[in-house]
Amino acid sequence: MASSSKSGNGSLREYVSKEDEPDGKYRVVKRIKTPVQRIAVVETEKGETLIYGDGYVMFGTTKDDELWAESLVHIPMAAAANRGSVLLIGGGGGILAREALRYPDVKRITAVDADRIMMNLGKSLKSLVKFNQGALNNPKVTTIVKDGRAMVEGSRQKWDVIVVDVPEPSEDVPQLRRLFSVNFYRLLKERLQPGGAIAVACTCLNAEMPEFSGSIIKTIKAAGLYVLPYHMDVRKSYGQDWAYCLASNRPLSSSGVKLRIKPRYLTESKLKGMFVIPNRYRKKWKKGKIQTDRNHVLRDIHEEH
């Protein structure tokens, strides 16, 4: 059941889809139509805040957001030779920046998001700022409102750690393929410091769509990077198995990935299991294809399933 405080145009379902509606009662605090997407700010009866983009949850102030951020940030931070500079593509919520700031050797973080409103929420929405501990307002953090691909293309900077956390290409936003293409990963390789590490969010592992992750793995390898896939199995709590890729310009081994700080949820024992991928997924990864700037490999897989 929902109540709504409307700000923006369009029906409620354009902002909060039926498929991704919160359990229990909730209130839509804001509806904002931006040049990039339709954003909804939702408060649940549990006291959590959820940020929706085009009807689906992007991030929020929940435990699973913390698990997601820890999985996406601390693995490349553990694998990288240095952590002085960090690039976060899709960092408007500030949660990734919060985790990166936990490392004392981090000197500068660049957080990029294509939507100014999303970035502003991460900087000023009270519940979100409390959750991300004011990360986007930290003097070590530079925020840039720009498409992640365009930002990297226009920069000559290099980073020790790069994190890519953007939605998968779909029928509604096929242009997101440019943030998953071999062309883009080649750019990231050029912008990566020697011994640096990249983490890419690859949506969920599941029996119906394993070739999605397989295609991302093949595409990163085709860009000339070493790849080590990993996952966070949260099926007991959320019915999902999150997939990620760790990449580098040097060979990777799970034995060489050692946590350098103590995250809230991620432990050394859990870390070992994250690099053990069930064979039922690995076998089907062979069906994956390389995503380019021009084809629609990932979009087609997404739409088919």
pLDDT in tens, 210-260: 789 999 999 999 999 999 999 998 877 777 889 999 999 999 999 989 999
- Told to judge if 115 belongs to the known catalytic residues of this protein, a careful annotator would answer no
The pLDDT of residue 249 is: 97
Nearest CA to 134 among 120, 124, 119? Answer: 124
Say how many CA atoms lie within 13 Å of 58 toward its Cβ.
29
Whether 38 and 53 have beta carbons less than 8 Å apart is answered as yes
Q: Are the beta carbons of 135 and 94 closer than 8 angstroms?
A: yes
* CA dist 229 → 167, 201, 205 (Å): 18, 10, 11
Q: Which residue has the tokens 């064979």?
A: 279
Question: Cα(268)–Cα(262) distance, rounded to whole angstroms?
Answer: 9
Domain 63-304 in CATH 3.40.50.150? The answer is yes
Residue 8: what pLDDT? 45
Query: Per DSSP, what are the bridge partners of residue 234?
Result: 240
- Model pTM? 0.95
213, containing H or E segment: helix 210-222
Please name which of 3, 191, 161, 178 lies closest in space to residue 80, comparing C-alpha atoms. Answer: 161
pLDDT tens readout for residues 168-192: 998 888 999 999 999 999 999 999 9
- The residue annotated as part of the active site, out of 165, 172, 241, 300, is 165
List the chain domain ranges. Answer: 2-59, 63-304
pLDDT of residue 106: 98
pLDDT digits over 107-158, tens only?
999 999 999 999 999 999 999 999 999 999 999 999 999 999 999 999 999 9
Q: How big is the CA angle at 129 (ends 124 and 131), to the nearest 5 degrees?
A: 160
pLDDT of residue 207 exceeding 90, the answer is no
The overall average pLDDT reported for the chain is: 92
